[in-house]
């Protein structure tokens, strides 16, 4: 087993939620009469902690307005998150990895409350041994989430792989000294992911699962 610890991003990697996040950011801006970011700008911030995401998506927003912006974002996102679906094949892939002896973990820009809600709603909680969130660690691309997960399981960098759909995931992996896999069906475009030299770019969950079967 080359990669004993397999760490997944959540939004855009396991859950098909990128479109809902973009909609929630844009709707929150409309609520507050702020300039509405284009889709590409809103998609770029997916994976960051909420404060960092708002800072990049709405650069003219004064820091004292972050709390109300975040509240409006959460209102719009949570109003429809129960309708979001896992990408096809995700539960089966995770179950196979766990049965094969891999340690599975999550490193996400979601809050702890948001991830706990998502784990329960998706039914995936029993498959993960640990998780780290942006409100308890530095936001991506800081390596703290991966560093803490490796420390928790006494796992070296060479035995750890990070899987995500954004450049923030890939940069976090680089900063932590671990390999990274990019998936192209989430938030960031293929060419943007290739710029960060992942081990591979996979275009759907079956491709990801096949790569992990062969190489992990």
The pLDDT tens digits of the residues spanning 14-46 come to: 999 989 999 999 999 999 999 899 998 898 888
The pLDDT tens digits of the residues spanning 67-98 come to: 899 899 999 998 888 889 999 999 999 999 99
- Give all domains of the chain, ordered by start, each with its CATH number: 5-16+84-215 (3.40.50.1000), 18-82 (1.10.150)
The pLDDT tens digits of the residues spanning 131-159 come to: 999 999 999 999 999 999 999 999 999 99
Task: Return the structure tokens found at 41.
Answer: 């700008």
Catalytic residue IDs: 9, 11
**Judging by beta carbons within 10 Å of its beta carbon (0-12, 13-18, 19+), is residue 12 exposed, middle or buried?**
buried
Q: Which strands sit side by side in the sheet containing 103-108, from one edge to the other?
A: 130-133, 103-108, 5-8, 160-164, 179-183, 200-202
**Judging by beta carbons within 10 Å of its beta carbon (0-12, 13-18, 19+), is residue 133 exposed, middle or buried?**
buried
Tokens 């409350």, located at residue: 113
55 pLDDT band (50/70/90 cuts)?
Answer: confident
Model pTM? 0.91
């Amino acid at each position: 087993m080359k990669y004993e610890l397999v760490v997944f991003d959540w939004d855009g990697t396991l859950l098909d939620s990128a479109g809902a996040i973009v909609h929630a950011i844009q709707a929150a801006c409309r609520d507050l009469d702020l300039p509405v970011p284009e889709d590409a700008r809103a998609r770029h911030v997916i994976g960051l902690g909420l404060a960092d995401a708002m800072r990049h998506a709405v650069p003219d927003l004064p820091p004292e307005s972050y709390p109300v912006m975040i509240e409006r974002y959460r209102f719009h996102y949570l109003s429809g998150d129960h309708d979001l679906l896992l990408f096809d094949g995700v539960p089966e892939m995770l179950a196979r990895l766990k049965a094969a002896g891999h340690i599975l973990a999550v490193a996400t820009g979601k809050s702890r409350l948001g991830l706990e809600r998502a784990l329960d709603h998706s039914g995936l909680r029993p498959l993960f041994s640990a998780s780290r969130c942006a409100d308890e660690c530095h936001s991506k691309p800081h390596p703290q989430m991966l560093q803490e997960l490796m420390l928790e399981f006494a796992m070296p960098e060479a035995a750890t792989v990070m899987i995500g759909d954004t450049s923030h995931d890939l940069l976090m992996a680089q900063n932590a000294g671990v390999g990274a896999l990019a998936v192209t069906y989430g938030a960031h475009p293929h060419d943007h992911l290739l710029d960060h030299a992942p081990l591979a770019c996979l275009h759907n969950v079956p491709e990801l699962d096949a790569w992990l079967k062969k190489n992990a």
